[in-house]
Structure 1
């Protein structure tokens, strides 16, 4: 690419710390900086644990700005919305670079929170790329009234304003098929899957003691926490000598707290920062991605699967979305029927009874992670898409 490249990542995700969305963006940033390119982050309405306070800063050479933290449904909303858009458009103007190709990378596509900023970005000369990671048409969590209104607005905007995109990135085959039908043939579309960095230097075999089954991530309905708890309780009662460790955050955590507290073999450790989080994953014996079989769960692709595989530990994963596109059952992962607590229990019991075989599956899974989910390879796919804009 002969001219300079300036990419502004925009969306409602934590930065510089956070979970799946943050890590996806950071991996793209790392590759683009080595390209080289200028990278910035415009964080919309930052919420949740792992998001530090303040209006912005600089992280590893990437300037970032937060707007909209004060947006609330009260009498001050009209004024807050004015300043939200004023500040957002102001940052897009400030970050625009003469003589370079300006790209506005919108994580999550077009939403009520970013639509006016996208329109402003287009008028300022930005090329707009949407990163679609879910099909919110089939969202299966219970929504509050504001949440339902936001969902409806998102559906309308996605249907009628998708034409604002100059390029589209999707995370799964399902979404590639769906958005391939929605967008014009002239708009480049690229499947860029999850990414994870493999570092097996910390692996040294299973430690003595109870086998540690681990789940780390969000606690949304699609994540199947209820299924995992049910399966573990059955196996622990039958076999003993095992623990279930849970880590992460989300509004649904409280739904499981009483059940967790009632069983000494189950422990919830809360939200962990990046360094603690990866130590937590490395310390597991078996990692679990037990999603439901809903259309919502099948549409995306669990980012945590890549992080799990990268540890070299064996992974139990539900057969959703693109899992079998990349992994083979009992070779690279233990793949179970989605939504089936009995199947999950069988996989947990297998790991207890065959730890050496499970360990070999984990090593093969790490090799598949390096093959398919390399952050540098994904970064190259993004650069190739940008070249086509």
Structure 2
């Protein structure tokens, strides 16, 4: 859901410009958004419609494809405005799910911009037939993205280095990092509580290495540190089952608070309750190509953040200045980072405040929206 919220922030801010109208066409793979909202309506001021809302994975879904594509084409034609610039902003790579839509949109006069946030070559996918087709077509079409796009935006330098040779100068390739709605998160400037509360929120995917955080937390408790750990989010059934079993197996399970899934507003309000926010990741190629969406929100909360050195993080943050940076895949790094903050509480407080300033400088969605709008207007 973090990626969906990230996109919604951008749509809301673009809509604040009087010359911009935003609408969202949600494809059936947007399962998080579709499961949380009605198939059609208005969300955060942006009109949206979900295609294939009733389609289910499996062979039977093939029978719904003609209606799925016809419905999408009708909306693209209906939403097109004459005598103005029309942009189709595609979140994710070209694939079998969106190729017909983007091709038709270009025929109608739309400019097409893709926003790539993951390396499709190493991205995992569900086992159903649609997911396999989508993934295979995504790999194939991304290698030819220069013929399909009027602009490509990427979330990291590694993706930029990967995409620019594929585009071959046919269209601009720009880096657009994560964004955060700073007005939605009130920074909390206060000393550590007693006990000190650690926090992780996210998708619990393999890349997030939550098991390492649990292992580090167990070691810290065994050393006599007075800590609690709060967890929130959701993931695949298999991953959530594995995390629950790992929690049940730890000797300090009575110090771990499972908050379930928090709605966005509640999640933002509660970030400031915690003392140390943990953004741990592994060193996989997938983690290195992307960028942790939650990092901007954690920094905005004004609390000290422990973050793994993956992707472009060191371009934005400096260790012991605006975050505590650790090596990925490192239990020892998590332990050392937490203990350093506990033993340097005054500096920890300043790191939290500096982290908020870093979020304001690099990840402010309103500042980024102006840059994005200028690019889209140039197409």
- Shorter-chain-normalised TM-score: which range? over 0.9
Q: Distance in 2 between matches of 1:326 and 1:348?
A: 21
Corresponding position of 1:91: 75
CA contact (8 A) 2:111 2:150 kept: yes
1:159 corresponds to:
143
Once the two structures are TM-superposed, the CA of residue 228 in structure 1 deviates from its matched residue by 0.9
Q: 2:13 aligns with which of 19, 22, 31?
A: 31
1:74-85, aligned counterparts within 5 Å?
74=58, 76-85=60-69
Name the residue aligned to 2:120. 136
CA contact (8 A) 1:109 1:158 kept: yes
Bigger mean CA offset, 199-208 vs 55-64: 199-208
Equivalent residues in 2 for 1:193-272, closer than 5 Å: 193-198=177-182, 201=186, 203-206=188-191, 208-251=193-236, 252-262=239-249, 263-272=253-262
Structure 2 CA distance, aligned partners of 1:50 and 1:185? 36
Change (3 A) 1:330 1:209: same
User: Does residue 274 of the first structure (1) align with residue 264 of the second (2)?
Assistant: yes
Q: Which residue of 2 aligns with 1:7?
A: none
CA contact (8 A) 2:93 2:114 kept: yes
Distance 1:82 1:220, change over 3 A: same
CA gap 1:378/1:341 in 2 versus in 1, 3 angstroms: same
| Matched pairs, number | 370
Aligned counterpart for 2:90 among listed residues 106, 129, 135: 106
Please give the alpha-carbon distance, in whole angstroms, between the structure 2 residues aligned to 1:142 and 1:63. 29
Q: Structure 2 CA distance, aligned partners of 1:255 and 1:115?
A: 36
Q: Distance in 2 between matches of 1:280 and 1:50?
A: 25
Instruction: Determine the C-alpha separation between the residues in 2 that align with 1:314 and 1:233.
Output: 20
For residues 49 and 265 of structure 1, the distance between their equivalents in structure 2, rounded to whole angstroms, comes to 32
2:166 matched to which residue of 1?
182
Distance in structure 1 (CA, Å) of the matches to 2:233 and 2:57: 27
TM-aligned CA deviation for residue 240 of structure 1: 3.1
Inter-partner Cα distance in structure 1 for 2:78 and 2:128: 36
- Look up the match of 1:326: 316
Is 1:69 the counterpart of 2:53? The answer is yes
User: Which of 358, 374, 380 lines up with 2:370 in the alignment?
Assistant: 380
Per-residue deviation, 1:201? 4.4
Asked if 1 retains the 8 angstrom alpha-carbon contact of 2:58 and 2:128, the reply is: no
Superposition RMSD in Å = 1.9
Using a 3 Å threshold, how does the CA distance of structure 1 residues 379 and 158 change in structure 2: closer, same or farther?
same
2:289 aligned residue: 299
The Cα of 1:133 is off from its aligned counterpart by 0.5
